[in-house]
A and B are shown apart, each in its own frame.
Chain A
């Protein structure tokens, strides 16, 4: 049985989504900017997708949705764009220590350009509070960017409260909602969100397509200069099949949210409880309840994450880890360190993320295969030997 437990990394395109996209490669290939008949269909398809995306996040108007090449582009655009157009007001940006690198590295870039960035710390669950944001806001603060939900530990931030604080202070609020959109309810109006990033491949759409919600009236320069596409704010011939795909995917996932959330939460509970019952010296990372429905992140003491992944892979179970070996550096995940995990426990983390295609049998299979894998690695570990000898 092939068990894909890395839905936070990317998802499989749903058959309905692929089916909706296919006519836009060969039948309806016209450039949406052209005036002849065959282009009318592609233009209409792009506008339909824009409406589907707007509806899913309760945006007041479809023309507040801009298609991009993905979550990273949306994040870059939001931060660099607002920094650029509001620099006369100030050069201070507030974000958190656990953001995705698309935000953190963009902030670091802005710091080299004379902007000042406050990185709010998080508590042991990965939560930042609206109170913290409120206290960090200064007269020269131009933007607050807090992720909707964390990609590693799944913690869902108090976005509505933070949005309210920002609105009251007159500071723009951006949220990187790449992990949240189409997985949990997102309402840009109720939550006072000014800018929101999303990515199609995180909710069973294709890769290479994303979107940004930019509330009407916000000044933001074009990120890609060129033609007049996307109301002159994002040049480049539209990725029509991708746009059709993200539209269909968000429509499907949003319609199923009410049934899919409890289904995944039940699987999540089963997986977390099963692992913690079967495996000693393990702890759940992230919040027990304020958490993405499909996210499980657990640290196993005395062993290292990459070894766990390799052995899971041998059983056709695909997962990820926050260990240094998998991050491509010598430091473990910045998120796990930010919630206070010591390095050795961060190295031994395992992230299992479920989604639309995950079945209960797969959860059972992981619960069967994981305990002997952990035990096998512990038997090989000099750290475990010390613990056993102490007993």
Chain B
């Protein structure tokens, strides 16, 4: 199998699948053309991510990175949330095959998109958070050193 045991575990038993009805922020990234779409829901109270859920259209790595990214963000402060990079998600999953690195980038983008939505809804500025690219059709923009 091309995937690590952790990736397979998070694909077979994904954590946090679903929606949050009264979500504080929702972010959707990717597109169907490329074969990956991630939608992340965050529940944020007192500056802390109390809950996170996701829905993903994509391959095994896309599901596993969504699962891991939502696991990692739960319980974090907003500032700590920004430290969940694609590399952090990959490391938590014991690595990804080179061709799947873009899935971890998408997971990071999805978290950022949900945080951005939260910030916009509440009229606040999260320092260090950039406006997400909702339609990252150019997945090959992934940093080359990861390959």
Contacts and interface: CB of A to CB of B under 8 A. Distances in A.
Interface of A: 302-307, 310-311, 314, 323-325, 328, 330, 332, 342-344, 347, 379-383, 385
A381 B35 CA distance: 12
Interface residues of B, number: 29
A310 B11 contact: yes
B86 interface: no
Given A304-B58, A328-B99, A382 B63 contact: no
Interface stretch (B12-20, B42-50, B75-83, B118-126): B12-20
Contacts of B102: 330
Interface in B17-65: 17, 19, 28, 32-39, 55-63
Contacts of A306: 59-60
Given A325-B59, A383-B57, A344 B33 contact: yes
Nearest to B14: A380
A387 to B, nearest CB: 12
Interface string B90-101: 000000000110
Interface of B: 8, 11-12, 14, 17, 19, 28, 32-39, 55-63, 99-100, 102, 139-140
Contacts, number: 73
26 contacts: A304-B36, A304-B58, A304-B59, A305-B59, A306-B59, A306-B60, A307-B58, A307-B62, A310-B11, A310-B60, A323-B59, A328-B99, A330-B139, A343-B32, A343-B34, A344-B33, A344-B35, A347-B32, A379-B17, A380-B14, A381-B37, A381-B55, A381-B57, A382-B37, A382-B38, A385-B55
Contact of A330 (B14, B38, B63, B140): B140
A314 B35 contact: no
A347 B62 CA distance: 13
Contact of A382 (B8, B57, B60): B57
Given A304-B62, A307-B63, A328-B99, A382 B35 contact: no
Contact of B35 (A310, A311, A325, A380): A325
A57 B39 CA distance: 54
